[in-house]
Structure 1
Amino acid sequence: MATLDPSVQPAITAVDPTVYFKVENGSLLQALDLHLRSPGPTGSLDLLVTAGGTTTEHRLDPVGPGESTHRLYVPDVREPTSLTLRLRGAGRVLHEHMVRWLPQRHWTVYVVQLSHFDPGYTDLPSSVMEEYLHFLDQAVEWCEETETWPEETRFRYVVEQSWIAWHYTQNRPAAAVSRFARACRAGQIEVCALWANMVSDLLGAEEAARLLYPAFELKRRHGIPIRVAQHNDIPGMAWSLATVLADAGVRWLVPGVPDYFSTGYVGAQRADAGGGRSLHRSFDHAVVQPRDCPVAYRWETQDGRDVLVFLHRQGAGGAPDTNLTELPAALARLDTEGYPYDVARYCVMGGRRDNAPPRLAFAETIRAWNQRWAYPHLVMATDSMFCAALEPRLPVTLPVHRGHWPDTDYPVGATSTAEDLGTNRRAKEMLAAGERFAVMASTIGTYPYPEARLGQAYRDVLKFDEHAWGLSTPFGWAEDAHRREKSLYAHHAAASAHDVLVKSANAIADHVALEKEDWHILVFNALGHERTDVVEVPFASPRPAGMPMHLVRPPVGDPRAPYPVCGLAEGRELHNLPAELVDGRLELADASTGEVVAHELCGDPNGWAPTRFPTQRAGFAAHTPEAAWSIRFTARGLPAVGYRSYRVVRRADVPTYGDTLRSEAGTLENEYYRVTVDSRTGIVKSIRDKELGRELVDTQAGFGMGEPFARGVADGGIERARLVVPPTHRRGPVSASLLVRGSLCGSPELLGEIVLHRGVKRIEFHYRLLRDLGQTHAYFVAFPFQVPRPRFSFDTGLNVIRPIADQFPGTTTDYYAQRTWVGVEEGDGAWGVAWSAREAPLVQLGG
C-alpha cells in the first residue's frame, strides 16, 4: 500500500445524490457521486459515511492531482438527515464534510414510444401513410418477439392517431390485421382516440364528434381498447375536444404542445441562438404550468363535465437516444422543479424526425436497465399505462381549467390555401344537409343509405383539417404535390357531399305528390327550424359525381332484353328547367297556397360574378346559353327539415311585381336597410337599420364597411383596394345589388358585390380575389360596426365562445376561427349584429 505524502491533503469538494438505486445483499442502496480535489497523487483512501445512525466504509482507489469523481453506494434513507463523510488516509482523518441529505424518489418511469404523426411534412401524405404500414408491420413483429420478456420490458408502441391504425386495417391482409388487433388487445400497441392532429379550431360540431368514429369503429370490429387521446404539435385545442372526449368516455388527454413561440422562432433564427425575438407563449404557463413542470389538471367542458389532462414538457416529440442517456437529468430537473409524483412519463422516438419509425432498442435498453437498477424502474409503456399509474396519486383538489384554447398559428396557415379551405367548409355544409336527406330518402323509398360514401367524405374533411399543411420549404415540386394531395381531400369531400345531397333530395322529390303536371321546383330546408330565405335555381345544375346505372325494361311486345342505362339521379336522369323559360315568360306559385311568388332572372354570361364556378359556367354557356342563367325567388316559411313546392307556369308575357327595392346613385335599400356607397371607391359609408333606427357603420374606424385591404407580411404596411370601373347597379323584384371591379396589391382583379334581398333582413358581401402568388400579403375585409360597449361571441360548432371569458388561461386573442357566425351585441343586450363568413373562418375582433 502506497504511503501518503504528508504535504498532500485531498479534500471533499461536493457530494451529489443521483437518481440511481440498486439492491445489494437484500439492502437498497442509493448511488452518490463524491467529488475530490487533491494537490498531488495519493495512495488508497478510506471513506466513512454516516447517515441516520448508520456508518458504512468505502475504499477509494488512489487519485492523481486535480479533480476526481467517485461513484459510491450508501443505504437508502426515507427521512431528511445529515450525511457526514470522513476521508481517511495513512491512519488519520484527512478531511471531514457534512451535507444535508434528503430522501430521493424511487422513480417509476413510463417510457412511451411514439412517432410524431404528420401526414406530410417528411414526404407526400400518401407516401407517409404507406410508410406507416411498414412501421406497424415491424411493431407487431417486435410485440410478438418480446411476448416472453418480463412484462414491463416488452416492446410497446403508441399509435397517436387512429388514422394510422384505420389505414392499416384497410390496407393489410386479414391475417396481418388480426395480429395487429391482438397486440392492441394485449396492451403492447395502443391506439389513441382522435383521428389525427387536427387544427381543431376549423371543426364544426359533426366533424368534432366524428374525430372519434374511426377509433371506436376499430374497437367495435376488432376489440381494440380506446382509453386515451393525444393531440400533438398544435399550440391550441378547441373546447369541443373536451366535450367529445367526455361524451365518448375517454378519460385522459395527453397533448404534446409545441412551445416554439417561447424561443422566438422567426425565419431560420431563434432567440436563444442570438436571433429572432421572444413571443408570447400559447397559454399562461404561470397559471397552468408553473416552472414549466409537467402538470395534471381537469379540463372542464362548457356543461360542467371534465377530462383529465397531463401536460408534459417534451413538446410534440421525444428523445431519440435508445440508451436513454438524458433520462437521469430529466428526472433531476423534475425533482428540482417540484414535480409532485413518483411516476413520470418519458417520451421517446425512433429518430429525430417527424414520422419516426419504431425501434426495438428502447425495450432492450429497459430490460438491461432494470437488471442493473432497482430505481429508476423503467416500464416500456403506453399512455394509458402511465395514466392508470398517475390517477390514484392525484390530489382530490386537482386544478380545474376551462375554456377554448385558440390555435396561435395553424388556422392562419390554412388560409394559404384559401380556395381549398373554402371548399372544405362548403363540403361540411353539404354533408350536414345530405346526411339528413339521405336518412329520409332511404326511409321512405329504395334509395340506399350511402354510409360508405358519407363516412369517406367525413374522413376526407378531417384529413384536410389535419395540421400538416405542406413541407418545411414552401416551394418546389414536392411542396406543390403535397398541397395538391391536401387539396384533393377537400374537393373529394365536396364532390361526395354534393352527390349525396343531390341524389337524396331527388329521391325524396320522387315521392312528393303533385296535383298538376306542370314543372315544379321543390325547395328543401335542411335546418331544424322554419326558415325564410332566397333560393337560386340554375338552368344548368352542376352534375353530381356518380352516374349510377338503372334497368330499363322495353315496352310490352318489344323483344329486346332489359338493359342498364345511366342517370345522375337514382333510377332516372336529373331534371333541369326548360331552356325556353330563360325568356322570363313564366310565373311561380306556391303549390300549397296558390300564392304567386315574385321571381327574377339572374345572368352572368361574362363570368364576373363573385361566386363559385363563374368562369366555368360562362364557358359552358358558349354552347348552352341557358347555363349562364338562373331563377331567384324568396321561399317563405320553409318547414324544419321539410320542403315547399313551387309550380312553374308558362305565360305569354314577362310578369312585373311591386317595387320594394332601390339600387341607384350609390344607394341600396329594402324594407330593413338603407345602404349608402361611395361611388368613387365602392365602399359602404353608411348602413341605416330602419327597424332599430340606428346607424350601424363606425365612420371613425378608418375603414369602410366591407372594405378589402392587404397588409404586407414583412412590414405590416396597409394597401387599399382601387376601383377599375365605376360601380354597377342592378335591381330586380327579388334583390338589388351593387357590383364593383377593382384591384388590390397582389391581386390584379378583385370582384365584389353588395346585395339586399326583398323580405330578408340580411346584407350580403361577396368577394372573389385573383391572387398573385408572387406577393406576400395577408388579405382582410373590414366590418367596423358602431356598437357601443360591444360584447362579442362566436360559434365553434359545439360551443359558443365569449372572447377572454371563455378562454383557457392566457391564450391568444389575436384572431379566432368561427364556424358559422360571430355576434356583437350592445352592452345591455338590447340589440346586436350577427355576422357570418361562409368560406373564410378567421376573424379579428375589437377596435
Structure 2
Amino acid sequence: MPRPDLSRPSWWDSDIARDILRDRGVSATGVLGGHPVRLSCEPLLRHDGDGGLLQSVRVQAGRPLARAVVTTLSGASVRSELIPGPAGETRMLVPEVDAPLPVLVELPDLAPGEQVEVLLTPQRHWTLHLVQHAHLDIGYTDPQGTVLAEGRKYLDSLLELCRTTDDRPDASKFRWAVERFFSFENWSANRPPEQVAQFLERVRQGRIELTAMPFNLHTETCSTDELHELLRPVRELRARHGIDVTTAMQTDVPGQVVGLPDVLADSGIRYLSVAHNWAGRAVPHHTGGGALPRLFRWRAPGGRSVLVWRTDTPHGLAYMEGSILGFDESYDRVDDLLPHYLSALATRQYPHEGRGIPGFPVLDEEFKGDPYPWDVLHLRVLGKFADNGPPRRVIADTVRRWNEEWAFPALRTSRNEDFFLDAEARYGDRLETFEGDWSDWWVDGVGAGAVPLAATRDGQAALADAQTVAGHAEILGAAGSGTTASAPEVYRAASLFNEHTWGGGDPWTHGDHGHASGERQWHWKYAQALRAHDDAKTLLDGAGAALGGRLSPREGTLAGFYVTNTCSWPRSETVRLFLPESTVALEDPVRVLDARDGSVLEHTEEAQSNELHRAAGRFLLFRLTEVPAHGAVRVDVVPGQEPPAAPESRSEEPAVLENEFLRVRVDLRSAWIGSVVDKRTGRELVRQDATVGLNAYVYDEYATAGGFNHQSSKTTANGSMHLLASRTAAPPAALVDRFRDATGETLVYECAPAGTERLRVRVHLPHGQARIDLENRIAKPATLTKESAFFAFPFAMRRPDVRMEATGGMTGTGLPVVPGSAQHMRAVRRWVSFAEDEVVAAVATQDAPLVQVGGIAVPYAPYPQSLAQDEPGTLFSWVHNNIWDTNFPSEQAFDHVFRYSVSFGQAPHTSGPVLGMHTAAVGSRPLLAVRALGEESPAPDASYGLLSVSDRRVRVVGLTVPAPGQVLVRLQSFAEEPVACRITPGFSVTEARTADYLGASGDLLTPDEDGATTVGMPVLGTRAVLLRL
C-alpha cells in the first residue's frame, strides 16, 4: 500500500497556482444526472466559415462528450458544436456574442432533458506578443564562467533556430530578445567576423532583438556617470553597424533609479520592458502599486520619457509569466492554461491569487483593482522554467499550431519593439504618465557585501577624479585622452559588481557547480569590486603624473605640489600630501608654504603605515583655503628649523571638541555624540529626546534562520515585533585619545558592542568648518545569525524637508515617486540633507549607501516600523545585513572603517542639496596633491582655475577627454526648476557645444564676452558641454 508524502506541498508549488487559475476560470457549475459539470467561457474564437466567429465554452464533465443542445432562456435554439478540449475535456463552440447572453446547456450524454445555465460573455480579440528571452543572472545558477560560456552557446543556436523556421508564416518564425547587451558583447568577441555578420543580419531582419542595457543592475548603486556609460557599447554598435536599438530590458530587480529615463533618452532608447520579481521581498501593492498600470510613460523630472511595459509577479512570476502557463513545455499545456489566464486578466487586477507563485508575499491578501484594460499583451516566455535557460523552438511551434486552430487570441513571436510599436499605435494617446524615482525593493541586499561595496564606491569616485585630472592635464598641454580611453573597462568592472547577481542560489555553499557554488561565485563577484577600485586608483595615479609633468616647482624648494580641486566650487579643506624620503630625509624638518602669499601653513605629520612594505616617506597634513574651482594652489616644501608641534592633549572637558562654529560633546557612557551646539546661534542641533544619539551604533538580530533557500522571501512580519529577536546599542566606551593638531580637534573612543569584536570611533572637528568627520571602524565576525547594524543621525527637527542624492537625480520630501516604490529604505549616492526653518544639516556617507529615514523597519515584508517613536529628522545608515537567503552573501566578516561627514548650515545662505554635495566631496573627492614634475622655475604659477559654474546647485560630475583637443564637461543639476547655468573656462576655447555624457555633440553655444557659455539644465537632470581647445 503506498504511503502518503511526509508533508503537504509548499504554497510555492506552481501547480497550486495552475489549479487556482483553472478554478477562477469557471463560469458556471451544475449537476447533470449526478455528474458534476463545470463550464468556462473562454476567450477563444474560431472562424465559422461564413465570415463570423465562434467562441468557446469549455466543458469539464469527467469524460469527453459528443452532443450538446443549447437554447436561450426563451427557448430559441443556439448553434453549437463540440470539439476535443484539453486533458480529455470538451469545448463547445457557439456563435460569438457582443452582449452577455444567458443560455441553457443540455448534455444528453450525461442526462437527457437536464440543463445547466451559463452566461455567455463577449470576449476580447486578444493579440499576444510572445517575447522569448533568457533571464541573465551572471552567476546564481552556476559559476559565472559557466554561465557566460553557456550563454555563448545560446547565441550560437539562435542562428540555427532562425534558419529552420524561415519558411513559416511570419507570426510563428523563431524570434529572440537578447535580454542583456553584455551577452552579445561576450559572444561577438569570441566568434569569427562572418558569424557575427550573420547574427547582425538577423537583427536587421527583426528576428533577433538586441536590447540596450548590458546587465540587470541595482541601478541605485551606480554612479551618475557610470549609469550613462552603460549605454556606450550600444552607441558603438549603432555607429559601426547602423543598427538602431530602441528598447531596453530590466529583469528581476524590482525598481529603477530616477535618473534612468534621462540616460535611456540620451541614447535614443524609447522603450523599457521591465519584469519586477517580488521574490517575497517586495510589496509594491502596499505603497500604491495597485494604481500603476502595466503600460505607461515614465517621465524624468526634466520632461523626457520612455514608454514602459511591466510584468508583475501577481501577473505570472515576473519574467516567468509564460512558463507558468506552459509555453516552455507544450502546446497542450498552453491550450489548457492560457484561456484561463486571459479570462482572469480581463476580470481581475491580478490573474493569480498568490498561492503557488514563488515570491508572492503575504499570500492571503486580497486585491481589488481594475483589470487589465487593453487587448494587446506582452508576455515573456522562456525556453526553460528557469534563470539562464536556453533558447528553444517549442514556443514558435506552439504559435504555429495555435494560429492554425484559433483566430483569437492571435499569437505571434515578437521582439519587445514589435509589441511597443503595436501598443503605441493603438493606445499611445490614452496612456498615463508617471514621474520620479522607482525605488528598488531588493537593494537592501547590497548590505551583505559591505566591504566590496565600499571599495566599488571608492573606485567610482577615483575614476571620476582620474578623468577630471586628465582633463586638467589636456587643458595644460599634456595628453589626457588615454585616461578616458581606459575608463570603460573600469566602469565595466564597477557595473559587473553592481549587477544584481551577488552570489549563488545557495550562497552559503562551497561547491564547484550549480546553485551550490556560492563561495566560488562570491570570489568572482568580489574581484570585480577590487578591479574597479584598483584600476581607478591606477588611472588617477597616471593622470596625476601627466598633470604634474606640466607643472613647475619653484627654484630653491625641496618640492612643489599643486593641490588640485576637482569640484566646481572653491574649497577650504585638509590636504594629505605624501613626501618621499628620497626627496627629504625623514629626520629633516620641513615647512609648507602657500605659494600665493608665502605664508607658512601649519602642518602635522603622519608616519607611513606598513612601512616595511610601502614607499619610504611621511605624510604632511595641513589646511588650505580657497582652492579655486577646477583649479589648484601651489604649496612649496622648504627646509624647516624644527619638527612640527606635537598634537596637544586636552585635560579639561576631554569629551568636548570645539572650533569656531561647533561645540561637540561625546557621551562616552553611551558611545555616541550627545550634543552639537551651533555657536553662532546657540541652538542644539541634535535631538535630545531621540531614541539614540548622533553616530550611535544600533545592532539588530532577527528570529529567523540562515542557510535555508529563500526563507527571507517566505517570512512575513507584523506589528507584534516577533521577528525582532534583539536590539542593542553600544555599551560604554573607553577614551583612547584626545588631541588638537593643525587639522582640527580629534577624539577617539572604543567599545565592544553586540555583533562586533570591537568598534573604534574617530571623531574629528576640522578647523574652520561647521562639520564633523567620523570614522567608525567595525571589526566583526562572520555569522549566519540574521543581523543588521546601523549608525544613527538624529537632528533636532520635527518635520524636516529631506533631500537625498540619487543616481542621476534626487529624491525626497514632496518629490514625485512612481507608485509602488519602496518607502522604508533606499540606497543613496553620497548624501542626505535635512532642512527646517533656518537650519540645514547634511550627512555624507562614503562607504554605506543604504539608509532609512525616521525609523528602522523590520526587514521582512511588509516592513513594519520598530522604533517606539517616529523621528522624521533621524537618518539611520544601514551599514550591513545578511537578511537574504539567496543571491546575496549569507554572512560576512570584516575589519573596516565606515566614513561619514555631518555638516550644518543656515538658510537661506545654503540649501540642503548644496550643503549635501559639498559635504560629500570631503571624503569622495578630496583635494589632491599633485607633485610638480616639470622644470624648475623662478616664479611658477601660484594658482590657477580652469572652470567654474554660476549656479551652486549645479555640479560638475567630472571632465573627460573624448579625443585630443577636446574636454567634455559633465553637469548635474540639483535645482528643482530649469536653470540657465553659465560655464566659465579659464582657458582658450575655440568652440563649445551642448553634448551628452558620452560626448555626442549638439547645438553650438555662443560665448559671452568673458568666454562663458550658458547651457540650459533640466530640472534635476544631467547635461554636458563639449569644449574644443
Q: TM-score, normalised by structure 1?
A: 0.83
- Opposite residue 520 of structure 2, the aligned amino acid is A
Matched-pair contact (CA < 8 Å) for 2:453–2:847: yes
Matched-pair contact (CA < 8 Å) for 1:31–1:71: no
Matched-pair contact (CA < 8 Å) for 1:341–1:393: no
- The aligned residue for residue 305 of structure 1 is 304
Matched-pair contact (CA < 8 Å) for 1:438–1:500: no
CA distance in 2, matches of 1:447, 1:376: 59
CA distance in 2, matches of 1:663, 1:280: 54
List per-residue Cα deviations over 1:91-134 (Å, max 9, x = no partner). Answer: x9946777554332222211111211111111122221121111
List per-residue Cα deviations over 1:313-364 (Å, max 9, x = no partner). Answer: 3313241334234322221222223422221122211112211111112112
Change (3 A) 1:256 1:687: same
> Could you tell me how far 1:590 is from its partner in structure 2?
1.8
- Opposite residue 761 of structure 2, the aligned amino acid is G
- The aligned residue for residue 764 of structure 1 is 773
Which one is further off, 202-211 or 723-732? 723-732
Which one is further off, 388-397 or 467-476? 388-397
Given candidates 17, 21, 29, the residue that maps to 2:53 is: 29
Secondary structure in structure 2 of the residue aligned to 1:711: strand
- The aligned residue for residue 192 of structure 1 is 211
Which one is further off, 203-212 or 128-137? 203-212
Change (3 A) 1:33 1:815: closer
Given candidates 611, 618, 640, the residue that maps to 2:609 is: 618
User: How well do the aligned residues superpose, as a CA RMSD in angstroms?
Assistant: 3.4
Matched-pair contact (CA < 8 Å) for 2:755–2:781: yes
1:401 aligns with 2:401: no
> Could you tell me how far 1:136 is from its partner in structure 2?
0.7
Secondary structure in structure 1 of the residue aligned to 2:212: coil
CA distance in 2, matches of 1:689, 1:185: 65
Matched-pair contact (CA < 8 Å) for 1:663–1:730: no
List per-residue Cα deviations over 1:478-505 (Å, max 9, x = no partner). Answer: 2122111111111111111111111112
- Opposite residue 536 of structure 1, the aligned amino acid is R
The structure with more radius of gyration: 1
Given candidates 697, 702, 712, the residue that maps to 1:708 is: 697
1:414 aligns with 2:471: no
- The aligned residue for residue 423 of structure 2 is 390
Change (3 A) 1:761 1:582: farther
Matched-pair contact (CA < 8 Å) for 1:193–1:226: yes
- The aligned residue for residue 292 of structure 1 is none
Which one is further off, 582-591 or 414-423? 582-591
CA distance in 2, matches of 1:307, 1:690: 49
CA distance in 1, matches of 2:521, 2:664: 44
CA distance in 2, matches of 1:532, 1:455: 32
Matched-pair contact (CA < 8 Å) for 2:81–2:94: no
- The aligned residue for residue 650 of structure 1 is 639
1:509 aligns with 2:548: yes
Change (3 A) 1:209 1:239: same
Pairs within 5 Å for 1:61-76: 70-76=90-96
- Opposite residue 173 of structure 1, the aligned amino acid is P
- The aligned residue for residue 980 of structure 2 is none
> Could you tell me how far 1:12 is from its partner in structure 2?
12
- The aligned residue for residue 482 of structure 1 is 521
Change (3 A) 1:300 1:10: same
- The aligned residue for residue 877 of structure 2 is none
Matched-pair contact (CA < 8 Å) for 2:256–2:439: yes
Secondary structure in structure 2 of the residue aligned to 1:316: helix
Matched-pair contact (CA < 8 Å) for 2:650–2:738: no
CA distance in 1, matches of 2:537, 2:520: 25
CA distance in 1, matches of 2:573, 2:82: 90
- The aligned residue for residue 149 of structure 1 is 168
- The aligned residue for residue 795 of structure 1 is 805
1:532 aligns with 2:572: yes
1:317 aligns with 2:341: no
What is the identity percentage for the equivalent residue pairs of Structure 1 and Structure 2? 27
Given candidates 220, 229, 236, the residue that maps to 2:255 is: 236
- The aligned residue for residue 542 of structure 1 is none
Change (3 A) 1:53 1:702: closer
List per-residue Cα deviations over 1:746-778 (Å, max 9, x = no partner). Answer: 211222100111223321010111120025421
> Could you tell me how far 1:840 is from its partner in structure 2?
0.8
Secondary structure in structure 2 of the residue aligned to 1:450: helix
1:840 aligns with 2:831: no
Change (3 A) 1:27 1:12: farther
Secondary structure in structure 2 of the residue aligned to 1:396: helix
* Structure 1 runs not aligned, ≥5 long: 1-7, 63-67, 266-277, 290-294, 540-575, 604-616
Secondary structure in structure 2 of the residue aligned to 1:359: coil
Given candidates 454, 457, 463, the residue that maps to 2:496 is: 463
CA distance in 2, matches of 1:93, 1:316: 47
Which one is further off, 166-175 or 231-240? 166-175
CA distance in 2, matches of 1:625, 1:727: 29
- Opposite residue 743 of structure 1, the aligned amino acid is A
Pairs within 5 Å for 1:634-645: 634-645=623-634
List per-residue Cα deviations over 1:656-682 (Å, max 9, x = no partner). Answer: 699999996212111111111234454
- The aligned residue for residue 464 of structure 2 is 432
> Could you tell me how far 1:721 is from its partner in structure 2?
2.7
Change (3 A) 1:377 1:587: same
- The aligned residue for residue 782 of structure 1 is 792
- The aligned residue for residue 829 of structure 2 is 819
- Opposite residue 23 of structure 1, the aligned amino acid is H
> Could you tell me how far 1:461 is from its partner in structure 2?
0.8
Pairs within 5 Å for 1:185-334: 185-261=204-280, 281=285, 283-289=287-293, 295-313=294-312, 314=316, 315-318=318-321, 319=323, 320-323=328-331, 324-325=334-335, 326-334=337-345
1:17 aligns with 2:33: no
CA distance in 1, matches of 2:257, 2:60: 55
Given candidates 704, 719, 722, the residue that maps to 2:728 is: 719
List per-residue Cα deviations over 1:623-654 (Å, max 9, x = no partner). Answer: 76955x41101122222222111100012223
Matched-pair contact (CA < 8 Å) for 2:256–2:438: yes
Matched-pair contact (CA < 8 Å) for 1:677–1:683: yes
Greater RCO (CA < 8 Å, at least 6 residues apart): 2
- The aligned residue for residue 839 of structure 2 is 831
Matched-pair contact (CA < 8 Å) for 1:736–1:755: yes
- The aligned residue for residue 601 of structure 1 is 605
Change (3 A) 1:517 1:188: farther
Which one is further off, 712-721 or 747-756? 712-721
List per-residue Cα deviations over 1:135-158 (Å, max 9, x = no partner). Answer: 111112212332232211111111
1:683 aligns with 2:672: yes
Change (3 A) 1:630 1:19: same
CA distance in 2, matches of 1:623, 1:84: 90
CA distance in 2, matches of 1:807, 1:150: 44
CA distance in 2, matches of 1:309, 1:89: 51
- The aligned residue for residue 749 of structure 2 is 740
CA distance in 2, matches of 1:771, 1:36: 62
- Opposite residue 215 of structure 1, the aligned amino acid is V
Q: TM-score, normalised by structure 2?
A: 0.69
CA distance in 2, matches of 1:630, 1:474: 42
- The aligned residue for residue 674 of structure 1 is 663
Matched-pair contact (CA < 8 Å) for 2:39–2:60: no
Secondary structure in structure 2 of the residue aligned to 1:27: coil
- Opposite residue 306 of structure 1, the aligned amino acid is S
Which one is further off, 634-643 or 380-389? 634-643
Matched-pair contact (CA < 8 Å) for 1:431–1:497: yes
- The aligned residue for residue 349 of structure 1 is 382
List per-residue Cα deviations over 1:804-824 (Å, max 9, x = no partner). Answer: 643222433222211111101
Change (3 A) 1:259 1:35: same
CA distance in 1, matches of 2:159, 2:473: 44
CA distance in 1, matches of 2:145, 2:849: 27
Change (3 A) 1:743 1:383: same
CA distance in 1, matches of 2:697, 2:632: 37
CA distance in 2, matches of 1:662, 1:503: 46
